[in-house]
Amino acid sequence: MSVDQATVRRIAHLARIAVRDEEVPHLQEELNAILSFVEELSAVDVSGVEPMTSVIPMRLPLRKDEVGGHAGADVITRNAPGAEDHFFTVPKVVE
Amino acid sequence: MMSDLTKFTLAEARDAVASKKVSSLELTRAHIDAIEKARGLNAYVVETPDKALDMAKASDARIASGQAGPLEGLPLGIKDLYATEGVHMQACSHILDGFKPPYESTVTSQLWRDGAVMLGKLNMDEFAMGSSNETSYYGPVASPWLPAGWDAEKGRAALKGDKKGLLVPGGSSGGSSSAVAAHLCLGATATDTGGSIRQPAAFTGTVGIKPTYGRCSRWGVAAFASSLDQAGPIARTVRDTAIMLRSMAGYDAKDSTSVNTPVPDYEKAVGASIKGKKIGIPKEYRIEGMPAEIEALWSQGIAWLRAAGAEIVDISLPHTKTALPAYYIVAPAEASSNLARYDGVRYGLRVPGKDIASMYENTRAEGFGREVRRRIMIGTYVLSAGYYDAYYVRAQKIRTLIKRDFELAYNDGIDAILTPATPSAAFGIGEKGSADPVEMYLNDVFTVTVNMAGLPGLAVPGGLSASGLPLGLQLIGRPFEEETLFSVAEVIEQAAGRLSLPQAWW
């Protein structure tokens, strides 16, 4: 399988990565190189094989349903590029 | 007493500090000086000398009062992928611009618990995506090994310029391997998703182990591909990695894939007899176009183990060839999901846009480098509607087959598997992958199977290439049987003779 330029733009949008027009042909080439590299997998017989979900067989542990240790809102928002009164700030979403 | 304190192995330094022949402060100062003189290599992205000196003084006080831990007073370097409280952590990406975590990773907190001293944060490929340390936002790292025919002057001139022509230290843990090989720390933390501990160790003549998946906690280590990522050490000897792994490993309730099984004293396995151990030699690793010197290295390794009393058994791991392409579906898919959190809201870089969606898009376009953007896009594609079954589910089925190959070998009584660590010696900075990303990916052809199957893998120096560069052998073990790897690797280290690492030319 290979991707066309419209697909490259669609993937970039799904991944929320802005791409400039002049980048698209090059990206298309690189993505197609990777896709052609993985193409050989389509020849592998996987009938009756379960997809791996856990590489080491284990039961997912459950913890007690209680509030755990956390640093508090001030500490958590300290690294934010925009914060006000322990809240993250973002561009206006609702008019 | 040794005149240059950076030339100690970690075990030697430990013994010297414990017996009060050397103080942690002296040992730490010697490393801080060495790091300052080696800035041209670009192995450290952040140096924390004040913190190191404070920690060393505290170590000396604990030694004086008889409360020393197993790593007391030993200066280490920390890969920038690990959260270190109040200290720079950016996974060598621009998108985490200015990030200082308010918490400590479990693995590093265990190192400090045991008395280790932090020298600083080590360079790496951005988000651990790369095999040469060239994708770092902070620029490439040079290996302390000079290319054949280069003298110190030519090396220093290249360090001042764009470093082209100097050798890569491997990746993604290139800062770790370069710093260890250049004696800029006694040992370093690293991480391995497809070979990122073992390939850099092989390229720099150092030792690195990726333990079994679940052995070390992933908590506080920036996620790349969660089902493959594991922490581990790089150091100058097999014994040193065994000492470090004991402190790094262990159950952690904060990582749901952490396995609750006791951590053995790995150092005890170093020097144990390997008589009667069955060592598997997988025919599928004899790949087309493999350089003769890699073949020769492998045969030499087999001869050493046979001479030590091991039984050599030819085995088959038929799905080996599928591991690398399957990895390039699974790893980008998980990365695209893990890296969705970098959106310019909670931490790091924010690039404004006309609305919130364009703020996300602009931030991620500027914050991520080329390789990371490429992998996120591949991952997004293989997970998108209509392609999920054809790519992602198929790759996970192939992963089951890869793991089954190993299980069958182990069921037949194989204790460990011997392979080359890399298909070649280190290449030059700027030499690979600029036209075709897949060219760089092929570096991991021998290491990636181990991550896909969750097994422990260790790289140990086996000798030098025709051009005088280190070549590594890889040992693959049964789940949670790292001890066997340490015993077998010690035999190789003893037989090969410890490599003499480069003298400081930088």
Here the CATH number for the domain that contains residue B26 is 3.90.1300.10
Considering only CB atoms, A55 lies closest to which of B213, B397, B401, namely B213
* Assigned domain for B291 exists: no
Q: Supply the mean pLDDT for chain B.
A: 97
* Assigned domain for B265 exists: yes
* Assigned domain for B112 exists: yes
Residue A57 has pLDDT above 90, yes or no: no
Instruction: Please report which confidence band the pLDDT of residue B118 belongs to, taking 50, 70 and 90 as the band edges.
Output: very high
Q: Does the distance separating the beta carbons of B373 and A44 come in below 8 Å?
A: no
Q: Which residues of B touch A60 (CB under 8 A)?
A: 256
Mean pLDDT, residues B16-23 taken together: 96
Q: Which residue of A has its CA nearest to B90?
A: A79
> Shortest Cα distance from B219 to chain A (angstroms)?
14
* Assigned domain for B385 exists: no
> Shortest Cα distance from B502 to chain A (angstroms)?
37
Active-site residue identified among B23, B24, B59, B79: B79
Cβ-contact B382, B337 below 8 angstroms: no
Q: CA B124 from chain center: how many Å? A: 10
The Cβ-side half-sphere exposure at B275, using a 13 Å CA radius, reads 2
Q: What is the CA radius of gyration of chain A?
A: 22
**pLDDT recorded at residue A69:** 77
Instruction: Please report which confidence band the pLDDT of residue B419 belongs to, taking 50, 70 and 90 as the band edges.
Output: very high
Cβ-contact B348, B99 below 8 angstroms: yes
Percent of chain B exceeding pLDDT 70 equals: 99
* Assigned domain for B105 exists: yes
The ipTM is 0.96
Task: Read off the tokens for B319.
Answer: 């799905």
Residue B324, Cβ neighbours under 10 Å: how many?
23
**Which of A41, A45, A54 best tests the B interface by mutation, with the highest count of B CBs <10 A?**
A41
How many DSSP H helices and E strands does chain B contain? 16, 11
Burial of B327 per CB tally in 10 Å (0-12, 13-18, 19+): buried
Q: What is the pLDDT of residues B234-283, one digit of tens each?
A: 999 999 999 999 999 999 999 999 999 999 999 999 999 999 999 999 99
Percent of chain B exceeding pLDDT 90 equals: 96
**pLDDT recorded at residue B433:** 79
* Angle of CA points B129, B133, B136, to nearest 5°: 75
**pLDDT recorded at residue B1:** 47
Q: Which residue of A has its CA nearest to B325?
A: A38
Considering only CB atoms, B336 lies closest to which of A15, A58, A93, namely A15
Q: Does the distance separating the beta carbons of B100 and A71 come in below 8 Å?
A: no
Burial of B7 per CB tally in 10 Å (0-12, 13-18, 19+): middle
Q: What is the pLDDT of residues B319-351, one digit of tens each?
A: 999 999 999 999 999 999 999 999 999 999 999
Residue B160, Cβ neighbours under 10 Å: how many?
8
Containing structural domain, residue B44: 14-276+425-496
Q: What is the pLDDT of residues B134-169, one digit of tens each?
A: 999 999 999 999 999 999 999 999 999 999 999 999
In whole angstroms, what is the distance from residue B131 CA to residue B129 CA? 7
Instruction: Please report which confidence band the pLDDT of residue B498 belongs to, taking 50, 70 and 90 as the band edges.
Output: confident
- Cα–Cα separations (whole angstroms), residue B85 to B90, B97, B101, B104: 12, 16, 5, 5
Q: Which residues pair with A87 in a beta bridge?
A: A84
**pLDDT recorded at residue B3:** 66
Burial of B387 per CB tally in 10 Å (0-12, 13-18, 19+): middle
Q: In the β-sheet with B457-464, what is the strand arrangement from edge to edge? A: B44-47, B117-122, B75-79, B187-192, B230-235, B207-210, B457-464, B470-477, B416-420, B278-282, B311-315
* Strands (DSSP E) found in B291-415: 311-315
Q: Does the distance separating the beta carbons of A34 and B378 come in below 8 Å?
A: yes
Number of structural domains (chain B) is 1
> Shortest Cα distance from A82 to chain B (angstroms)?
7
What is the DSSP-derived secondary structure letter of residue B266? G
In whole angstroms, what is the distance from residue B173 CA to residue B190 CA? 6
**Which of B397, B399, B434, B440 best tests the A interface by mutation, with the highest count of A CBs <10 A?**
B397
In whole angstroms, what is the distance from residue A87 CA to residue A46 CA? 49
- Sign of the torsion angle spanned by Cα atoms B253, B255, B261, B264: negative
Active-site residue identified among B105, B173, B196, B487: B196
